[in-house]
Structure 1
């Protein structure tokens, strides 16, 4: 293992509040294999170049369709806290991590109280307060919004702002997973003053879904969905002398092999994500010496979801793929078993393992 720091490592280490790469993301159905360049004198560049061959299409994490959208959003939005590589909570917008000892976690397990950092500003200069946390819950829990992160907030009974910098979350029942809401990639806080006019059924009409206003180190200055996101330093960011890069370019498109080659062989970019490439090819590209592979262990996976309802029929209410109409083929157990038997697991294990 190369013991020098790559530009990707510098980025992840110095800007903990941005990505935390795969280590602090809630597991999603994506490959955790990435590549970063070997350390070179170009590490002092003002621009960090990221390549996501599955390009982001929206920059609202609560409407995200996959890791590509979650991670592109995470560069500008922040949660209350997130988990580090050792599984410990790290505070971002929170002033401290709640516990039984500091009174943040209720002894009966039915509530948690978060104290927020003061003096934090959104990238438009407006102050961040507890009202933004309360609003984010209202936004996500409104069924009409169709938030993809709603499951993380279902255990909440109510949420209240004790004051401008204190939020109390009340759960329906004693909840050992009190750290699920507002944590990690599924938990960024939205600015109330920006999204309030776009609650409920208007959620996907918000201009900020494409040009977000966040509290993180970077702000979006240009976004072409399915192509590229350009970030520049947020002048209102609370930490002095950060971020270290003045500009971040997240380019989308291409395929996994070309993404790997762009880092490992040609050095055209600094970080490539989700390298679903056969291990021998990756090792061959890595031998060029331009970069190296970073593989994080976790519950990431790729899967095929089979629709077990009939999409060609609809209910009286116009619903397609309803449980009322089972699929004409997949309702047969033997057909489902045949698909299972057809998977060549030995080849997958031998040729695709890293």
Structure 2
């Protein structure tokens, strides 16, 4: 504990920090750290959790899902009804203005939907928007959204990643302009953006009567600080009020000091290995052989990873989805930790002495290295490459990777379509390209019969597990650490909500 304190103190001195008092009601500024660099603040052109956090602060959706109850409530829309299986009509809230003074009405919804639904505009996560065909204006405060096919999860998506943008501003600014000077209707407006590094938000004093609730803290100052030790040093010095995604061992030390509030909450994010079963990196890569993929599954001790590294509310995961998501069947084959069986499978596949492969990760180096050690122990010798999230994503989209450690939080959408269908329907991040799996998912995604949906998700998930296209390992938890002046109750959807925070 003494060494830990000395490390933090040394880091603080090296940064030239003072021991100024923590932020209080007097300056009304919440100082927060992000670990990962956000590629673009425009919520349609990033897929990181930091982007989701800013999305919920800056923009609103048509519908709001209560994070505690899951109940759907009107946000920018006040009511909605299905005209038929592929047409949703929504009545819009009157009297709402965007941060730049533009009036919100049907034109904004129509423009946003038609823009993001058009694949050539390049929305980063197509699965979030490609179920929509178009939108049309009925009158100033009534719109209809037309779907390409029945999509039972539509309301869940409209309550999550589908934000509404000001039509006049976005037509002029585009994604790059929106990324530098974001404009929404949300509880916080943006004062400044230093791309990837620094974001300053200010309370929207004219926020509408949203179910999100009214923001209390006046200003939120967010800096990207990749190193967690530096974050902790700044927490000690008073330069930061809140840090999150803190590793379990560090959060335990902080909790023991009694100086900060440490809150642990479960999340829908899962950690998994994706293997190049489709041969995207070359047909001679070992992972095209199911025996090699099953060997990888047997090589990983997920129980040990959870108990030794993740801790908290994390748990072992065996499916290509999060258990609470609709359609996430748990009736799949599981692979017990058995390194000897892994070696035997490798020998059967023609690799009695193992083989060498490139291995990639973008976060949680400690977890990634532990996984690499398990692989090495059975003869899979890895060349470990740690990349930025955006760089690894682009690499995977363009040509794939032999094996990489990935995570996915489903944009906090409680439906298997947000993860299983995202990665197994021949998109740019599909490493299996299994037509049978794709066809089952197509049925599951579009059927209006819940039982048919469950049946086809179950078939897809069973084959994904049997063929070991993915090696799911664990769910994440998130540790939030904040000063005693901050009042905040985290939710299990991994969304940091500034508008629910206040000062003690």
After TM superposition, the score normalised by the length of structure 2 is 0.51
| Matched residue, 2:383 | none
CA distance in 2: counterparts of 1:327 and 1:141, whole angstroms = 37
Residues 196-244 of structure 1, C-alpha deviations (whole Å, 9 max, x = no match): 246xxxx55x312221111113222211122110112335533699532
Matched, 1:78 2:78: no
Distance in 2 (CA, whole Å) between partners of 1:73 and 1:41 is: 24
Cα 1:175–1:307 shift into 2, 3 Å: closer
Distance in 1 (CA, whole Å) between partners of 2:25 and 2:205 is: 22
Q: Secondary structure at the match of 2:155?
A: coil
| 1:62 matched residue in structure 2 | 44
Counterpart CA distance in 2 for 1:68 and 1:144 is: 25
Taking the aligned partners of 1:150 and 1:283, their CA distance within structure 2 comes to 38
Q: 1:105 and 2:82 equivalent?
A: yes
Higher share of residues assigned strand: 2
Aligned counterpart in structure 2 of residue 196 of structure 1, from 171, 174, 180? 171
Secondary structure at the counterpart of residue 40 of structure 2: coil
1:269 to 234, 240, 253: 240
Equivalent residue, structure 1, for 2:123: 147
Aligned Cα root-mean-square deviation (Å): 2.9
Q: Which residue of 1 aligns with 2:263?
A: 294
Structure 2 residue 186 is matched with structure 1 residue 222: no
Residue in 1 that maps onto 2:156 = 180
Cα distance change, pair 326–260 in 1 and its aligned pair in 2 (3 A): farther
Q: Which has the larger radius of gyration?
A: 2
Contact between 2:114 and 2:135, CA under 8 Å: does it hold in 1?
A: no
| Alignment correspondent of 2:32 | 50
Report the secondary structure of 2:199's partner residue.
strand
Q: Whole-Å Cα distance in 2 between the matches of residues 159 and 180 of structure 1?
A: 18
1:41/1:216 Cα in 2 relative to 1: closer, same or farther (>3 Å)? closer
Quote the Cα distance in structure 2 between the aligned partners of 1:141 and 1:115.
21
Contact 1:307/1:327 (8 A) holds in 2: no
Equivalents in 2 of 1:41, 1:49: separation in Å? 8
Offset at residue 347 of structure 1 (A): 1.9
The TM-score, its normalising length taken from structure 1, stands at 0.71
Which residue of 295, 298, 317 corresponds with 1:341? 298
**Contact conserved, 2:113 with 2:134, CA < 8 A, in 1?**
no
1:119 corresponds to 2:95: yes
Describe the shift of the 1:162–1:44 C-alpha distance in structure 2 as closer, same or farther (beyond 3 A). Answer: farther
Identify if the C-alpha distance between structure 1 residues 48 and 60 changes in structure 2 by more than 3 Å, giving closer, same or farther: same
Equivalent in 88, 91, 100 of residue 74 of structure 2? 91
Secondary structure at the counterpart of residue 152 of structure 2:
coil
Q: Note if contact 1:63-1:148 (Cα within 8 Å) is conserved in structure 2.
A: yes
Change (3 A) 1:41 1:226: closer
Q: Are the counterparts in 1 of residues 114 and 133 from structure 2 also a CA contact under 8 Å?
A: no
Query: What is the aligned length?
Result: 287
The whole-number CA distance in structure 2 between the counterparts of 1:286 and 1:120 is 42
Query: 1:48/1:309 Cα in 2 relative to 1: closer, same or farther (>3 Å)?
Result: same
Identify the match of residue 255 of structure 1 among 210, 227, 244: 227
| Distance in 2 (alpha carbons) for counterparts of 1:73 and 1:110 | 27
Does structure 2 conserve the Cα–Cα contact (< 8 Å) formed by 1:118 and 1:165?
Answer: yes
